[in-house]
Amino acid sequence: MRQLNLLSYNVQAGIHSRQYSDYFTNSWKHLLPHPERLVNLTQIAQLLRQFDLVGLQEVDAGSLRSAYIDQVQYLARHGGFPHWYRQINRNLGPFAQHSNGLLSRLAPRRITEHRLPGLPGRGVVVAELPLSDGSDLAIAILHLALGGRAQRQQLDYLFQLTAAHPYLVLMGDFNCGCHGGGLRALVQKTELHGLDCALKTFPSWRPRHPLDHILITAPLRVVSARVIDYALSDHLPLSMTIELPAGLRFAETAAVSL
């Protein structure tokens, strides 16, 4: 196995936004449970079944608004992923558990959490998948801040992360388009590739902005990349198939439990 099918999806905690006015009319859904949320998550789980590894943003780890359901665990179970992990970045107790999520069919050797600079509430979770030569493919799932200053600080942090992992995937909601100065600087300094202005993910009902990205280090190869028209959030999911360099394989493939 040399190829890996990836998906990055900001699921908006299961809230289905269909237009800008929903940010106001559905604002209560960020605080209170509603029956449509679980229906949306079940439909999202059906999409996730097609992929080997999924990075999730804006998932709730189990609070009042999610009816105390850990949404990462729920999507793992209904998507058939034997390995999953959540990183709680903003813990509001019983009211909200803002998280990043990892779903994987391969068994990670190690998972680490990183707190991003800026105001509390943003983070990166890194899963290291063992390769046949004893090294690892690091998958970093992230959700960056909205503000430009905080974003620049966080992108500088990602530069250090890139230096530590020769085989690395950065995936998630960067909250900035491909022309953003900080993101462009990161790509130029690290020679990351995969940045594509045509892959517009936001807003889901009329995608105009490429806010979600999957970036990979130079030894890895992009086989294909596309935005999937699956509008169950305010973001569309972004998929990418990547390939390891010749001579490398994943050291272990976990059994898929469906």
pLDDT digit string (tens) for 151-203? 999 999 999 999 999 999 999 999 999 888 899 999 999 989 999 999 999 99
Q: pLDDT value at position 252?
A: 67
Confidence class for position 257, pLDDT limits 50, 70, 90: very low
Q: pLDDT value at position 176?
A: 94
- Residue 253 reports pLDDT greater than 90: no
Regarding predicted confidence, which is higher, 248 or 27?
248
Q: pLDDT value at position 254?
A: 44
Taking residues 127-145, report their average pLDDT.
Answer: 96
Query: What's the pLDDT tens digit per position in 46-98?
Result: 999 999 999 999 999 999 999 999 999 999 999 999 999 999 999 888 889 99
Q: pLDDT value at position 120?
A: 86
- Token code pair at residue 83: 């390995």
Q: ω before 166 within 30° of 0 (cis)?
A: no
Taking residues 118-133, report their average pLDDT.
Answer: 94
How far, in Å, CA of 126 to CA of 112, rounded? 5
Does residue 142 contact residue 174 with C-beta atoms inside 8 Å? Answer: yes
How far, in Å, CA of 237 to CA of 69, rounded? 22
In order of their start, the domains of the chain are 3-243 (3.60.10.10)
- Residue 255 reports pLDDT greater than 50: no
